[in-house]
Amino acid sequence: MGTNLENKQEEIQEQNVNNYIKQVLNLIEKDQVTEDEAKWITKETVNNFREHVNPGFLEYRKTVTKDGQFAAVEWSDEGSCFKDVNGKKYIDCLGGFGIYNVGHRNKKVVKAVTDQLKRQALHSQDLLDPLRAILAKILADITPGDLKYSFFTNSGTESVEAALKLAKMYSDRSTFISTTRSFHGKSLGSLSGTAKGMFRKPFLPLIPGFRHVPFGDIDMMRKTFETSALVGEDVAAVILEPIQGEGGIILPPEGYLKQVRDLCDQYDALLIFDEVQTGMGRTGKMFCAEVYNVVPDILCLAKAFGGGVMPAGAVVGKEKVFKSWFDNPFMHTTTFGGNPLACAAAIATIDVLLEEDLPSRAAEVGEYFLQGLKDAAVGHEDKVMEIRGKGLMIGIEFHKDEVGYEVSKALFDRGILVAGTLVNSKTIRIEPSLTISYEEVNTVINAFKEVLPTVK
């Protein structure tokens, strides 16, 4: 009797799930949703975030009002904008923290991925997959210096993991120098390199051997090399972002990266550039390494690498480094890394960047944007501390977290998305698509000018 009832309840639940899934698939299929459907989507999103994802997100997002009555739920995107489920359009100046370098759903990237999808989505894992090999050759061509071999990943943190393992195997050493305010990801290996105490503390001890020195302080870097060598813990590699992103758009001091390169050479250590955020044209050259004329031994890519369409990442290294994996290519693997869809996306992304010369465009538009923001902030020195950047990687630093949060909220109300969350708004980041129009840039500058006097 009891089991019968249980069976019945299970049946009903299964039917409910089935209907629910059908309803959602029906919505995904649609070009446009009705007002009622938009309401349903919003309600389901908020409730399910609260009950099944993490209610914390509803607290921290500026796109949600305190009790969740209003919530901006995204639904579609195109060019340098996205739309919420009610059809309100936003200029995307956050750019997914630097994903959308070639714009949202760039037509060429979408076409390459769709064409590939019609023929083959994922690879056999046994035969040789062509696009991975071809993309690796293209990367060898466009990356600086003698970077030559590539390993493909699905994310930034995975690119950093691979870089650390490469450095360990190549050098047979286990000391790494990282920098304060750095961000390299949140999986246990990359988190060891990441600097923020709040994210690291609950997970200590992390990988042994990491030393953090202040970003930009070459004397500390030199001393750390010296002392590590003295105690027999020679440095395997230095890992850093040529321009720090998550840390608040921090530019390296004049000559710093070259000096770090020299120290690495002197101590026979590798230099790893984490260009997950600065790469693919963001800072005015294809790679930020070129902005400062320094060639790393290992280059980490992700974020914009998949063209804002596919998750994709890569580690590119010199032959001497990759050689340590030649004998056994299975020392480090990933099932989905370098899959045909991701490679098709990356190849098309590079095509767009080169053909439309988007790195130069980033430099040009970036300079105009930076100057415009600086002009708009004149007279508000009590609120704005500094505005800085390179290419279309711009940071506005405020004296106080709260001011940054208020500004980003006020901009959001005006249809402009910039970074800045409740936990991290002292510097708000502007990283739009490199295809953003001057008209859109002006809209943002004017909104910033309007908003500044209104915040306390």
Ligand X SMILES: *Cc1c(COP(=O)(O)O)cnc(C)c1O
Question: Residue 98 and residue 92: Cα distance in Å, rounded?
Answer: 11
185 binds ligand X per the rule CB under 6 A: yes
Nearer to ligand X, 116 or 157 (CB): 157
Of the residues 45, 106, 143, 155, which one makes contact with ligand X according to CB under 6 A: 155
Binding-site string for ligand X from residue 24 to residue 63, where x marks contact by CB under 6 A and - marks none? ----------------------------------------
Sheet of strand 416-417: strand arrangement: 74-78, 81-84, 89-92, 416-417
- Which secondary structure element, helix H or strand E, spans residue 148, and what is its range? strand 147-153
Residue 51 DSSP one-character state: I
Beta-carbon-side half-sphere exposure of residue 60 (alpha carbons within 13 Å): 12
- Indicate the residue among 157 and 178 with the shorter CB distance to ligand X: 157
Q: How many CB atoms lie within 10 A of CB 145?
A: 13
297 makes contact with ligand X (CB under 6 A): no
100 versus 448: smaller Cβ distance to ligand X: 100
Distance in Å, CB of 275 to ligand X, minimum: 7
Q: Residue 92 has which token pair?
A: 């995307």
Q: Looking at beta carbons only, is 77 or 158 nearer to ligand X?
A: 158
- Whichever of 147 and 314 has its CB closer to ligand X, that residue is 314
Q: Note whether 241 binds ligand X by CB under 6 A.
A: yes
Nearer to ligand X, 243 or 387 (CB): 243
Secondary structure class of 107 (helix, strand, coil): helix
What is the spatial distance between Cα 448 and Cα 443, in angstroms, rounded to a whole number? 9
- Based on the shown chain and the rule CB under 6 A, indicate whether residue 431 belongs to the binding site for ligand X: no
Number of shown-chain residues binding ligand X (CB under 6 A): 16
**Would you count residue 225 as binding ligand X (CB under 6 A)?**
no
- Binding range to ligand X, per CB under 6 A, among 101-109, 217-225, 253-261, 269-277: 269-277
Residues 6 or more apart whose Cβ sits within 8 Å of residue 353: 101, 102, 280, 281, 286, 359, 434
Q: By C-beta, is 104 or 383 nearer to ligand X?
A: 104
- Please identify which residue in 184, 200, 261, 282 interacts with ligand X, judged by CB under 6 A: 184
Rank residues 185 and 340 by Cβ distance to ligand X and give the closer one: 185
Query: Would you count residue 178 as binding ligand X (CB under 6 A)?
Result: no
To ligand X, the closest distance from the beta carbon of 82 in angstroms equals: 19
3-class SS letters over 334-380: CCCCCCHHHHHHHHHHHHHHHHCCHHHHHHHHHHHHHHHHHHHCCCC
Half-sphere exposure of 425 (CA within 13 A, CB side): 19
- Our finding on whether 157 is near ligand X (CB under 6 A) is yes
Q: Tokens in use for 372?
A: 């415009």
Residues 85, 72: Cα–Cα separation, whole Å: 8
Of 246 and 440, which CB lies nearer to ligand X in the complex structure? Answer: 246
> Taking CB under 6 A as the rule, does residue 302 contact ligand X?
yes
Confirm if 420 and 428 have CB atoms less than 8 A apart. Answer: yes
Positive or negative, the CA dihedral 215, 218, 223, 225 is positive
Q: What is the closest distance, in whole angstroms, from the C-beta atom of residue 323 to ligand X in the complex?
A: 25
Under the binding rule (CB under 6 A), the answer on residue 277 touching ligand X is yes
Among 92, 161, 274, 406, binds ligand X (CB under 6 A): 274
User: In angstroms, what is the minimal distance from the CB of 2 to ligand X?
Assistant: 48
161 binds ligand X (CB under 6 A): no
| Site map 338..377 versus ligand X, x via CB under 6 A | ----------------------------------------
Determine which residue in the list 58, 271, 276, 377 makes contact with ligand X, applying CB under 6 A: 276
CA-CA-CA-CA dihedral for 72, 78, 80, 85, to nearest 10 = -10
Q: Residue 351 CB, nearest distance to ligand X (Å)?
A: 22
Residue type, 97: F
- Of all residues in the shown chain, the one whose CB is closest to ligand X is 156
CA nearest neighbour of 183 among 212, 223, 209 = 212
Which residues, listed in sequence order, are joined to residue 316 by a DSSP beta bridge? 150, 299
Provide the residue type at 136 as one letter. Answer: A
End-to-end CA distance of the chain: 66
Choose one: 19-27, 54-62, 241-249, 290-298; the region binding ligand X (CB under 6 A). 241-249
Give the integer Cα–Cα distance in Å for 291 and 183: 20
Which residues of this protein are in contact with ligand X, per CB under 6 A? 97, 155-157, 160, 183-185, 241, 245-246, 274, 276-277, 302-303
